[in-house]
A = this chain, B = another copy of it.
Amino acid sequence: MIEHRTVRVALLGAGSVGSQVARLLLEQGDELAARVGARLELVGISVRNPHGRRDVDLPAELFTTDAERLILGADIVVELMGGIEPARTLIALALESGADVVTANKALIATHGRELFSIAERVGAQLTYEAAVAGAIPILRPLRESLAGDRVERVMGIVNGTTNFILDRMHTRGDSLEEALRIATELGYAEADPTADIEAYDAQQKAAILASIAFHADVPVESVHREGITSITREQIQAAQDAGFVVKLLAICERLTTQAGVEGISARVYPALVSAQHPLAAVHGGNNAVFVEAAAAGPLMFYGAGAGGVQTASAVLGDLVSAARRYVVGGPGLGESKHSTAPSLDIGEITTRYQISLEVADRPGALAEITGLFAEHGVSVETLVQSAPDAAAGAASPHATLVIGTHSATERALAALALALADVSAVHAVTGVLRVEGQA
């Protein structure tokens, strides 16, 4: 089948994802043409430096520094530059010109999505971004379309490969955080400046996007509670393992009704304990997985590569083929139906469970004092493990390690309790506070 119609595709950016998208477009021309019903013609690639080094050999004549001109001569624009500007201005220009836009830019969608979706809606263009969350894994389209007739209650995902690689190494090799980070950097899992990953800014943006789509709501990135993995110690990992848990950095988005009866949405990112039996516990290395609980479908899991140039390019091309089919045959865009007015809830409103590790004085009354504080804060103790005083510490200051698992309580009560515990004279140190997720 020879297709005579063409769809003009402009590519913005030729980094690790962009160069793979360009390569696949050029190599798979016939197959893509058969699927779309028209040839996808790569009309150009805008870059800052046309002579820069690329991951992939691409024809030199494709490169241009004039992004605006490229955009205005295209039917579909694929933005893979990353960052807020000039991506934001260029996407707006493309949409205003009537072109559909495909992007992998999670930072931009999480922070300026609303403004871009409203341009798209006004002009009847479409802005899709499957690659922005969980790389190659199809998750946004299934949430938006396959589960369109269901009610998503909860999304819990490992959406950052770098931190999963680090935590996985701490578990499987006994590395310290610093060692694991160094290896991650050497192997290319972590960037030179790993802040966005290990402080969970990356996961926070993805959580905002996941919550927006899952709950048909506007979830601003600032409303997503964020804690990174920088305070996780080898000792916490060991203690978690001993108790049958694995530490994972989770992005959690759920519908909740607060104790005051307010229905809202909680989106949050933090390292948490997950039962070793939970499907998410088996997600190793740099992989991603998203666990979805829907009212009718029950639990679903989507698993695969969360990053990587060629893997992410697969998701970009999926969106591109959809946009191209729409260009050829017509039809509505994948609109952002944000009809929910459920408010974003503060982290204090959610209920969760804590596992608190303490070093305590090994003297009569210490335990009573501590458990009394739990009762005062309305938090009930589910498990309590006291391990023998550390012989090496000497008789002068006998102390024991206490690991207390709580029943569900509001985050507010638990946080206040954790603070108060640090002030108890019998408590030498609060050595770890982690939430427990994935259990009723």
Would A332 and B337 be within 8 Å (CB), given that A296-B313, A304-B300 are in contact? Answer: no
Assembly CA distance A303 to B329 (angstroms):
33
Residues of B within 8 A of A321 (CB): 145, 148-149
Q: Note all chain B residues with C-beta closer than 8 A to A297.
A: 136-137, 304-305, 311, 314-315
24 residue pairs bridging A and B, Cβ less than 8 Å apart: A28-B149, A32-B149, A34-B216, A35-B337, A136-B294, A138-B145, A138-B147, A141-B146, A142-B146, A145-B321, A146-B315, A149-B314, A149-B316, A149-B317, A149-B318, A150-B318, A282-B282, A296-B317, A298-B304, A300-B303, A301-B301, A302-B302, A329-B331, A331-B332
* Residues of B close to A147: CB separation below 8 A: 138, 314, 318
Interface flag for A24 (CB, 8 Å)? yes
Is A322 in contact with chain B by the CB < 8 A criterion? yes
What 1/0 flags go to A309-339 for Cβ under 8 Å of B?
0110111111111100110011110000101
Given the interface pairs A216-B34, A301-B304, A331-B330, the reply to whether A138 lies near B146 with Cβ below 8 Å is yes
Which chain B positions have C-beta within 8 A of A1? 339
User: Is A254 on the interface with B (CB-CB < 8 A)?
Assistant: no
| List of B residues within 8 angstroms of A28 by Cβ | 149, 151
A24 neighbours in B (Cβ, 8 Å): 149, 296
Contacts of A378 on B, CB cut-off 8 Å?
Answer: none
Per-residue contact bits, chain A 1-23, to B (CB 8 Å; 1 contact, 0 not): 10000000000000000001000
Q: Is the CB of B329 within 8 A of A311?
A: no
* Separation of A317 and B31 alpha carbons in the complex (Å): 31
Q: Please name the residue on chain B nearest to A150 by beta carbon.
A: B314
Q: Is A279 an interface residue, CB under 8 A from the partner?
A: yes
CA distance A130 to B148 in the complex (A): 13
Q: Does A299 contact B (CB under 8 A)?
A: yes
Residue of B nearest to A24 (CB): B296
Say yes or no: B317 contacts A148, CB within 8 Å: yes
Would you call A35 and B303 a contact (CB within 8 A)? no
Whole-angstrom CA separation of A149 from B149 in the bound complex: 26
Contact residues, A414-437 vs B (CB, 8 A): none
Q: A318 near B136 (CB under 8 angstroms)?
A: no
Instruction: Select from chain B the residue with minimum beta-carbon distance to A130.
Output: B146
Q: Which residues of B contact A319 (CB under 8 A)?
A: 149
Q: Which residues of B contact A315 (CB under 8 A)?
A: 146, 297
Q: Is the CB of B329 within 8 A of A150?
A: no
In contact, B148 and A322 (Cβ under 8 angstroms) = yes
Q: What is the distance, in angstroms, from A404's C-beta to the closest C-beta of chain B?
A: 31
Contact of A303 among B32, B216, B303, B314 (CB under 8 A): B303
Q: Restricting to A92-140, which residues have a CB under 8 Å from any CB of B?
A: 130, 136-138
Mark A30-55 against chain B: 1 for CB-CB distance below 8 A, else 0. Answer: 01101100000000000000000000
Residues of the B chain whose Cβ atoms lie less than 8 Å from the Cβ of A317: 148-150, 296
Q: Are B296 and A20 in contact (CB under 8 A)?
A: yes
In the complex, the chain B residue whose C-beta lies closest to that of A329 is B332
- When C-beta atoms are compared, the residue in chain B nearest to A34 turns out to be B339
Please name the residue on chain B nearest to A28 by beta carbon.
B151
CB distance from A146 to the nearest CB of B (A): 3
Contact A325 B332 (CB under 8 A): yes
A332 proximity list for chain B (CB < 8 A): 325-326, 329-331
**Contact in complex: B296, A148 (CB < 8 Å):** no
Which residues from chain B contact A145 at a C-beta distance below 8 Å?
Answer: 138, 141, 145, 318, 321-322
Interfacial chain B residues near A322, Cβ < 8 Å:
145, 148
Known: A147-B314, A301-B301, A301-B303. 6 other contacts (CB 8 A): A1-B339, A34-B216, A35-B148, A136-B294, A141-B146, A149-B314
In the bound complex, CA of A138 to CA of B32 (Å): 23
Minimum Cβ distance to chain B for residue A308 (Å): 8
Q: Which residues of B contact A313 (CB under 8 A)?
A: 296
Return the chain B residue nearest A334 by Cβ.
B325
Once the chains are docked, how many angstroms separate the CA of A324 from the CA of B142?
17
